[in-house]
Amino acid sequence: MTIPPPAGPQNEGPQNAAPHTGPQNTAPQDTAPRSEAPHPPAVPRPAVLLSGGPGGLGGPGGGPARALQRVTASALGPYQSAVVRIGFAATYLFFLLRELPNRHELYGPDSPWHWDLARQLTNGNEAFSVLMWTDSTVWFEAVYVLTLLSAAALLLGWRTRTMSVLFMVGVLSVQNRSIFMGDGGDNVVHLMAIYLVLTRCAQVWSLDARRAARNAQRVSAGLPPLRDVVGPTLWVLLGPVLVAATLMGGLGGTWWLPTLLWTIWLSAAAWWAVNRYLPHGEPRTLLDVLANLAHNATLAVIMAEVCLIYATAGWYKIQGSRWQDGTALYYPLNLDYFTPWPALSDILGASGLMVMVLTYGTVIVQVAFPFTLFNRRVKNVLLVIMICEHAGIALLLGLPFFSMAMIAADAVFLPTAFLVWLGTRATIGGRRLLSGLPGRSRTPGKPGAFGPAHGPAHPPEAGPAKDGGGGTQEPRLQGGGGGHTLVG
């Protein structure tokens, strides 16, 4: 995975600046940049730090020190984590919308796996589902709608920290209500919904980042940042719900979920207090370091999870006789359940050579992918092949949401340069599309005009800046000096 170099506290988005994983957006100062006194001129580092002397970056301890500084000073992979957030939120949002007419039969009161059976199962496996709190139809509809709204808000990056928690609760509740209704894609969404809570995935391509950029522009103009009212309101509303669920034993039988939810909620208050009373002190720096560590560790877990999925899938396929003789793909192409386009499946299944190439190619790519991560070019080639493979599965086998989930998981390995280019192309395309709407004008300085490339929500200082190595450096959304780090 290609990631931008550490850029200190400027890498944090408004909703990803906390070590906690709860309604971080609830702090009035959490979504606003902090103003500071002008920085003094840069002072050159002592020669010993660059020449390999004791403790210097070029010395024996330079490598570990740089690595520790990198993982504590910034949240790595901001574009990759943003794509993962958008991908999984979109996957589950579209799934819930598609199943809207069938929701009662799948997860609601009309399900063959009725509420009493689901209750017995969750009591046995200690699973969590708010749908088990009551068998009321009104409650089911409320949970379904809330899950839909949280997925849409997470997709847009609005109040990302809070929405990621609500999204996780919704996903776990719906899936654990009827566990026999899912497939492999649901398992991936289940895991990623938990991981996203621990990441700072709204640094870029989110409404939170846009709000932070606007506040940064206000601070640079000598104006105070906009006061946040929505964040504290969400924190106050969700607190009594968490207290009631804990007292009534409605958080499942595991220890980690109540611990996670309470840590999220309490850390939101701690973050608000630190930003209000000690915005430039050591507690603020410590919170930043913990947030970066949690994000970077979770991103590494996501990468390991993807590698494990492909490695186990590939090695299990090798043990199957149909994969060994190259005919495995032929059978799903001739099952009515997996043939949304029978004519296309017949054409492909009629070619023995094509079936054999695709069967062996699938095994080779899945087994080889984890071993190619150390070679960027080979990794990118296999990544393109796997994305095309999942697109083919969606088209030929009629499994669009499984394919969307796997493509979203694969995105954690996409190169940063490609994602930046993709975001720029999408921005330009969106402006061109909006320019054709009535009331829009291209002339600067007039109503409906398009301003500079960054626009008011993306001032030049908040945009990606080139670093010395040709990479990208995250927007400086917050004031601050030399990076939040434990070693620098």
pLDDT tens track for 102-125: 999 999 989 999 999 999 999 888
140 and 79 both lie in a single domain: yes
In tens, the pLDDT along 252-278 reads 889 999 999 999 999 888 888 887 788
Could you tell me the CA-to-CA distances from 213 to 202, 205, 224, 231, 446 in Å, in that order?
12, 12, 13, 17, 23
pLDDT in tens, 15-36: 333 334 333 443 333 444 444 4
- In degrees and rounded to multiples of 5, residue 4 shows phi and psi of -70, 155
Q: What is the value of pTM for the model shown?
A: 0.78
Instruction: Find the mean pLDDT for residues 53-60.
Output: 41
* Residue 439, pLDDT score: 60
Q: What is the pLDDT of residue 277?
A: 82
Number of domains in the chain: 3
Q: For the residues 454-463, what does the mean pLDDT come to?
A: 38
> Which two three-digit tokens encode residue 458?
């993306």
Query: 357, 392 in Cβ contact below 8 A?
Result: no
Task: For the chain, give the percent of residues with pLDDT over 90.
Answer: 52
The length of the chain in residues reads 488
Q: Are residues 416 and 330 in the same domain?
A: yes
197 and 259 assigned to the same domain: no
Position 67 scores a pLDDT of 81
Which residue range is the domain that position 179 belongs to?
Answer: 75-218
Pair 262, 396 in one domain:
no
Question: Is the same domain home to 114 and 137?
Answer: yes
Distance CA 162, CA 260 (A): 13
Residue 60 lies in a domain: no
d(CA 128, CA 117): 15
- pLDDT tens across 348-394, in order? 989 999 999 999 999 999 999 999 988 899 999 999 999 999 999 99
Q: Is residue 306 part of a domain?
A: yes
**What pairing do the DSSP bridges indicate for beta strands 465-466 and 472-473?**
antiparallel
pLDDT attached to residue 62? 60
Pick the more confident residue, 338 or 61: 338
Rounded CA-CA distance 412/426 in Å is 19
Q: Between residues 152 and 451, which one has the greater pLDDT?
A: 152
Q: What is the 3-state secondary structure (H, E, C) of the chain?
A: CCCCCCCHHHHCCCCCCCCCCCCHHHCCCCCCCCCCCCCCCCCCCCHHHHCCCCCCCCCCCHHHHHHHHHHHHCCCCHHHHHHHHHHHHHHHHHHHHHCHHHHHHHCCCCCCCCHHHHHHHHHHHCCCCHHHCCCCHHHHHHHHHHHHHHHHHHHHCCCHHHHHHHHHHHHHHHHHHCHHHCCHHHHHHHHHHHHHHCCCCCCCCCHHHHHHHHHHHHHHCCCCCCCCCHHHHHHHHHHHHHHHHHHCCCCCCCCHHHHHHHHHHHHHHHHHHHHHHCCCCHHHHHHHHHHHHHHHHHHHHHHHHHHHHHHHHHHHHHCCHHHHCCCHHHCHHHCHHHCCCHHHHHHHHCCHHHHHHHHHHHHHHHHHHHHHCCCHHHHHHHHHHHHHHHHHHHHHCCCHHHHHHHHHHHHHHCCHHHHHHHHHHHHHHHHHHHHCCCCCECCCCCCCECCCCCCCCCCHHHCCEECCCCCEECCCCCCCCCCCCCCC
Residue 458: inside a domain, yes or no?
no
- Kindly state whether residues 274 and 233 are assigned to the same domain: yes
Residue 455 lies in a domain: no
Residue 348 to residue 479: CA distance in whole angstroms: 58
Examine residue 436 and state whether it is found in any structural domain, yes or no: no
Q: What is the pLDDT at residue 225?
A: 80
Residue 208 lies in a domain: yes
User: How far apart are alpha carbons 446 and 332 in whole angstroms?
Assistant: 59
Looking at the fold, whether 234 and 213 belong to one and the same domain comes out as no
Q: What is the pLDDT of residues 65-99, one digit of tens each?
A: 888 888 888 889 999 999 999 999 999 999 999 99
Spatial contact of 77 and 297, defined as CB atoms under 8 Å apart: no
250 has a pLDDT exceeding 60: yes
**Do 275 and 328 share a structural domain?**
no
Same domain, 212 and 96: yes
Over residues 295-337, the pLDDT tens digits come to 999 999 999 999 999 999 999 999 999 999 999 999 998 888 8
Look at 31 and 138; give whichever has higher pLDDT: 138
Q: What is the mean pLDDT of the chain?
A: 79
The pLDDT value given to residue 288: 86
Check whether residue 416 and residue 314 sit in a common domain: yes
Residues 244, 192 within the same domain = no
pLDDT at 465: 39
Mean pLDDT of 284-291: 88
Can you tell me the distance from the alpha carbon of 160 to that of 158, in angstroms, rounded to the nearest whole number? 5
CA distance 340 to 350: 17
- pLDDT of residue 54 exceeding 60: no
Q: Identify which of 6, 124, 128, 117 has the alpha carbon closest to the alpha carbon of residue 67.
A: 6
> ∠ CA 346-350-352 to the nearest 5 degrees?
145
CA–CA dist 256, 238 (Å, integer): 19
Co-location of 275 and 166 in the same domain: no
Instruction: For residues 21 and 263, give the distance between their C-alpha atoms in angstroms, rounded to a whole number.
Output: 8
In a domain, 255, yes or no: yes
| CA separation, residue 89 to residues 93, 94, 151, 186 (Å) | 6, 9, 5, 12
Residue 49's pLDDT is what?
31
Q: Retrieve residue 8's tokens.
A: 């200190």
Q: What is the pLDDT at residue 29?
A: 39
pLDDT > 70 fraction of the chain, expressed in percent and rounded = 77
Structure confidence at residue 197 (pLDDT):
95
Can you read off the two tokens belonging to residue 246? 């804990």
Would you tell me the crossing angle of helices 352-368 and 282-318 to the nearest 10 degrees? 140
Q: What is the arithmetic mean of pLDDT over 408-435?
A: 90
- Which pLDDT score, from 0 to 100, does residue 222 have? 86
Residue 417 forms part of a structural domain: yes
Structure token digits, residue 413: 């390995």
